[in-house]
Structure 1
Amino acid sequence: MSIATPERSRTGKSYLTGLADGRRVHLAGRLVEDLAHDPATEGMAGFLADLLDAHHPGGGLVAADGRPWAYSLADSAQMVRGRGQAFARTARLSGGLMGRSPDFVATVLTSWAGAAGHFGEYQENIREFWQFARESNLILTHAISDPPADRHLGPDVRGEVQALRAVRTTGEGVVVRGAKMLATLSPFADELVVYPFRPLRDDEEDQALCFAVPVATPGLTLYSRPSYATLPSSDGPLASRFDELDAVCHFDDVLIPWNRVFIHGDVAAANNLRPGTGMTAYAWHQSAVRAWIKAETVFDLADRCARAAGRDRQQTVRQQLGELAGLVETLRGLVVSAETDARQDRFGHHTCHSVPLAASGMLHARLYPRAIELLQQIVSSGLVMHPVTADEDPDSAGHQFMQTYFAGVDVDGMAHGRLLRAAADLTMNRFGSRQVLYERLFLGPPDAFQAKFYDLFIERRESTATVLDDLDS
């Protein structure tokens, strides 16, 4: 299989048409025939189509060369800030609710292209695939985690391994078998980028793999969790549009062509992928911007709900809104700090300072759950009882009552109900619960990352004289 010719004129419409490419996506026990029009998936597919259409000159998502900012290597600190501004614009389109918006893995791939030497004999494959993805504005996601038994127990008594591994090579490429999870966005992606998440042992050469593969490749099947989208969609306005879906990816002797192979059998290259390419500075930049915008979304929703109900006049609520505003400003300030201290890396490209980015990731794991707790307290009983879409019909039994009873300050009862339904989406259902869990574990176990942050902080901290030095004299 050769790399396709890039489609420079790609549009949202062509993306939706392309979803009918034979990909096998099982959702809640059924094969989804048409992701672009299935009620469980059409909202997310439609948003991604809109996002592709937003990549036009003057829209802030493409650089001066016409290519997406997320796929751009920065030659200056100014370009780093430009990339960050594009991350912010993308995140605002979804309120930061997409943990795997396409710019995340796009920037990971870009970091690899900028440090292609790490991939040894496969370095030209990285450069060519990056160019292809960049020209086509591919929607990428990754699949990196192993099944639970392999992560925690290792092979069973029969020596079977469930995790993805190479089983043989041919003149055409590497044949792989096994599973990867938790591939967020994979049902909607053009391609999967696969690489190890956990450190590999020296005897696990068959799992030392890094490659890209189209989602519609024969032998690849995605088993997705149930969709959180609602019917009607306006009863779950956020879940119905921004549920990315998470899936287990099953590779049943899938052939990966040689030109899509980036690492094969090299445990050292796999284990050193992050420090060897500097990819964390790229990925953390996108995720730190998204964390700030997501906190901003929660604040705006809480503020609008409080104003509509007149609760913004209560001192307790104003204190809660003040705390939410502080969370927003903390995360924004860390992004500004990281971009302000952008510097040239050892590969000759400019990236953010990693310490503020790591601090953002560490804090966001705790700040986002706190933000949702504050939203619950501010909106209170309105999360449980509010007008639903059916009440907006003037002929419905509850329309007039709900219109009157839920009328707020400068907002009618139906408009107030739409605000409350959005707040309930983030606090009361599976979509909101998944959002909290996702942010808690975004960088792995929070306590473990805190210890890693201490090491990073000490390593990167510039030594300065302090008043404490006088204690030694």
Structure 2
Amino acid sequence: MTTAAALRADAPASTTSVYTGAEFLDSIQDGREIYIYGERVKNVTEHPAFRNSARMVARWYDRFHEKKDQIGVLTDTGSGQLTHPFFLGSRTAEDLIRGRDAIADLQKVAFGWMGRSPDYKAAFLGTLGANSGFYGEYAGNAKKWYARTQERLDFWNHAIVNPPIDRDRAIEDVRDVFMHVEKETDAGLIVSGAKVVATGSALTHYNFIAHYGIPIKDKSFALIFTAPMDAKGVKLIARSSYEFTAAATGSPFDYPLSSRFDENDSILVFDKVLVPWENVFVYGDVDKINQFFPASGFIPRFTLHGVTRLAVKLDFIAGLFSMAVEATGSKDFRGVQTAVGEVIAWRNLFHGIADAMVKSPIAWQGTEGYNLPNLNYGLAYRVFAPMAYPRIKELIERHVASGLIYLPSSSADLESDAIRPYLDRFVRGSNGYAAIDRIKLLKLLWDAVGSEFGGRHELYERNYAGNYENLRVETLMAATATGDLGAMQDFVRNCMSDYDVSGWTAKDLVNPDDINLVSRGLVQG
């Protein structure tokens, strides 16, 4: 056995229990290389650009421990520990329902605003037991990462898209930018290049690297692997932090979402990073790289996670919108009621899609009795979510209107003896809302839809599942591949078979020869 093969056979496994919130915060104080505002971050859990977002992830882990007797299931490693059900492969509809319900319950920590929660990449990790054979010589790595992550609930993220540079050129011609293997060693692969957008990666344990885009031809670009965030040569270049801006210019009262739910989107750079063989899932197999997303089982599962999270988020937004129009005194206007009703309808749609996905699973061909969420409904989510979110934002802006900005600049204004009496008088709400309560409510709504944080969330929901054209083309291709489109066309042909140019061909229908004016020559030119 080669050194590399020996390492692959000895991939990491763990019997350690799921992180607590405090353990999670300790675990990411590892010297990772993150840059923001021209400086390297010394401790991501203490830096004002990340510290409260990190604490919200810690809350997610603590909520799991609080609820594990209700939402947890036993690992399939034999350890006897409870884990998040979405980190396991599913064999029944009940398995998928438990996974969906756990995702929804834990999203309540973030009111639906945590797109890259620790169970996001369980959409991939939970496939590795059922589908380990897909990874060929690296199947042992898949099995052992599957075992480890269900025991620990390691926080993974992914970066799978090449930077938006030289898109008119072949991937192989942009070697100075796109991630590729520089050389192989006994210890692993030396990898350089960049991937985007590494959302939330500043707080994760591992980053998963794959390829989503036009097909690869050069095997040096054909790699799928994971890397710990503290690996030498891994660097994150963060965008501006909404959490930092909120803290510097306001308070939690002014920016209650920006202040704690900013999942920083970063540029992920690899500068001659050693990727040990035990962290590799695919290397050098161009066909397998290009088949990965349809073959991995990730797409149906990540779609289930996305629609479930969005449904919880819309629970929050629908409630917030309805409270805002109550506070502004317009809740009984007919047009306003139609808008709130439409938002509730969108919310119901996405909860319904999640239900359909888990209650009508599809057998996963090539595995031993495993299933996947029904992708037909998931594809509908991928098309409709980018339509729904801007529409909901439009309805809020139209019907709350100036109420979104008829607000004082800061919570500090409410502490001012000089202006507080005027605020209490002129900025009070309707229906019994005191000024401070109206201001608190509408600042929350502004942060959701009008702040930089809110604008970024609209962009996120528009592009979460891919670009506009691909979402629709993939829906068409899926319907073609499954035979559903053919069945729809046969349905039409069945209708058309009842008649021809001479009239009805169906024996039970009566031709109109006895009353038809044209055939009887009674229509004159």
After superposition, residues 13-412 of structure 1 pair within 5 angstroms as 13-56=22-65, 58-59=67-68, 60-65=70-75, 66-154=82-170, 160-202=175-217, 204-229=218-243, 230-231=246-247, 232-346=251-365, 347=367, 348-387=369-408, 388-393=410-415, 395-408=416-429, 409-412=431-434
| % identity of equivalent residues | 25
Q: 1: CA distance between counterparts of 2:493 and 2:226? A: 52
Paired position in structure 1 for 2:521:
none
Q: Which runs of 4+ in 1 moved over 6 A?
A: none
Provide the aligned length of Structure 1 versus Structure 2: 470
Paired position in structure 2 for 1:445:
467
Based on CA coordinates, which of the two structures has the bigger radius of gyration? 2
Distance 1:399 1:42, change over 3 A: farther
Would the aligned equivalents of 2:449 and 2:455 in 1 still touch at CA under 8 Å? Answer: yes
Distance 1:365 1:124, change over 3 A: same
Q: 2: CA distance between counterparts of 1:54 and 1:139? A: 15
* Residue 22 of structure 1, CA deviation: 0.3
Question: More deviation in 117-126 or 339-348?
Answer: 339-348
Would the aligned equivalents of 1:302 and 1:378 in 2 still touch at CA under 8 Å? Answer: no
- Residue number among 389, 392, 414 corresponding to 2:436 in the alignment: 414
- Counterpart amino acid of residue 329 in structure 1: N
Q: 1: CA distance between counterparts of 2:492 and 2:164? A: 50
Q: Report Cα offsets for 1:334-360 as digits up to 9, x if no partner.
A: 122222212332222122211011101
Unmatched 5+ stretches in structure 1? none
With structure 1 as the length reference, what TM-score do the two structures score? 0.94
Q: Secondary structure at the match of 2:253?
A: helix
- Counterpart amino acid of residue 494 in structure 2: D
Q: Secondary structure at the match of 1:179?
A: strand
Would the aligned equivalents of 2:182 and 2:192 in 1 still touch at CA under 8 Å? Answer: yes
Q: 2: CA distance between counterparts of 1:120 and 1:5? A: 23
Would the aligned equivalents of 1:191 and 1:212 in 2 still touch at CA under 8 Å? Answer: yes
Distance 1:396 1:268, change over 3 A: farther
Would the aligned equivalents of 1:26 and 1:32 in 2 still touch at CA under 8 Å? Answer: yes
* Residue 91 of structure 1, CA deviation: 2.5
* Residue 305 of structure 1, CA deviation: 0.7
Q: 1: CA distance between counterparts of 2:396 and 2:113? A: 15
* Residue 90 of structure 1, CA deviation: 2.3
Would the aligned equivalents of 1:87 and 1:103 in 2 still touch at CA under 8 Å? Answer: yes
Paired position in structure 1 for 2:79:
none
Q: 2: CA distance between counterparts of 1:140 and 1:466? A: 45
Question: More deviation in 330-339 or 169-178?
Answer: 330-339
Would the aligned equivalents of 2:18 and 2:151 in 1 still touch at CA under 8 Å? Answer: no
Would the aligned equivalents of 1:426 and 1:432 in 2 still touch at CA under 8 Å? Answer: yes
Q: 2: CA distance between counterparts of 1:403 and 1:114? A: 61
With structure 2 as the length reference, what TM-score do the two structures score? 0.85
Distance 1:344 1:156, change over 3 A: closer
Q: 2: CA distance between counterparts of 1:398 and 1:71? A: 54
* Residue 73 of structure 1, CA deviation: 1.4
Q: Report Cα offsets for 1:125-144 as digits up to 9, x if no partner.
A: 01111211221111110011
Q: 2: CA distance between counterparts of 1:165 and 1:360? A: 33
What's the RMSD between the two structures over aligned residues?
2.1
Question: More deviation in 306-315 or 217-226?
Answer: 306-315
Q: 2: CA distance between counterparts of 1:53 and 1:108? A: 23
Distance 1:466 1:169, change over 3 A: closer
* Residue 207 of structure 1, CA deviation: 0.9
* Residue 398 of structure 1, CA deviation: 2.7
Q: 2: CA distance between counterparts of 1:456 and 1:342? A: 15
Q: 2: CA distance between counterparts of 1:342 and 1:9? A: 28
Distance 1:363 1:6, change over 3 A: same
